[in-house]
Amino acid sequence: MANKPKTTDRERDGVTRRGFISTVGAGALGAATVGTSRAEAVPEITAPEAMVQIGLTINGRIHRLLVEPRWTLLFTLRERLGLTGTKVGCERGECGACTVLINGQPRYACMTLAVEAEGSQITTIEGLMDGEALGDVQQAFVNEDAFQCGYCTPGQIMAAEGLLQANPSPSTEEIRKGMSGNLCRCAAYHHIVRAVDSAADGRREGDDR
């Protein structure tokens, strides 16, 4: 994985994602065979409501806060830090409304636990602003009317930002593919593709200068 999180207190305590998965897997195996035995090395599992302290680096600032291990990054951003630009659409990794950048890559914040995100650089829609001024992708979305109700829009913009960071000159087909993880029920897709294309143009022109 490109963005391997650095070791944290939680990992040392034994609550790693791998540990969690192996426990679940072992439980399922036990149930399937004899129904009684469990794997020998059962990692200690923190109670879901037990609070742990973490530091999240969001838009260049470190936020130290107490979270439950089961809290998603999405919930933590919105309901605990008030960063409600990141939207909630499905909470199961299907719609993309909660897309943020984690170390520059578009990721679904609903599929990322807050504890997992410690040590990563998290960028939200609020982080694309320069003070009160819109970022270039945001401005392109305004100019091309690349939204209707606007609810999926922050996620779309973060996906576009991630795409352009990875590929500054995407073809139309690459834009369509790059944006296909973000649903828009109003279906402003045609304008979204134009906006991403125009933002890419703008960046290239900026680089030429």
| Site residues (vs another protein, CB under 8 A) | 48-49, 68, 70-71, 75, 78-79, 82-92, 94-95, 97, 124-126, 129, 134, 138-139, 141-143, 145, 147-154, 157, 172-173, 175-177, 179-193
Residue 40 CB, nearest approach to another protein (Å):
30
Conformational region of residue 57, where left means phi above 0, alpha means psi within -120 to 50, and beta covers everything else: beta
Q: Tell me whether residue 41 or residue 133 sits nearer to another protein (CB atom).
A: 133
Residue 37 CB, nearest approach to another protein (Å):
27
State the Cα–Cα distance between residues 174 and 33, nearest whole angstrom.
47
Q: Tell me whether residue 3 or residue 148 sits nearer to another protein (CB atom).
A: 148
Residue 130 CB, nearest approach to another protein (Å):
11
Residue among 117, 44, 43 at smallest CA distance from 80: 117
Residue 102 CB, nearest approach to another protein (Å):
17
Q: Tell me whether residue 10 or residue 191 sits nearer to another protein (CB atom).
A: 191
**What does each C-alpha distance from 156 to 36, 86, 113, 176 come to in angstroms?**
48, 10, 21, 12
Q: Tell me whether residue 56 or residue 71 sits nearer to another protein (CB atom).
A: 71
Q: Tell me whether residue 18 or residue 92 sits nearer to another protein (CB atom).
A: 92
Structure tokens at 203: 């960046």
Rg (CA), the chain: 20
Residue 39 CB, nearest approach to another protein (Å):
25
State the Cα–Cα distance between residues 153 and 108, nearest whole angstrom.
14
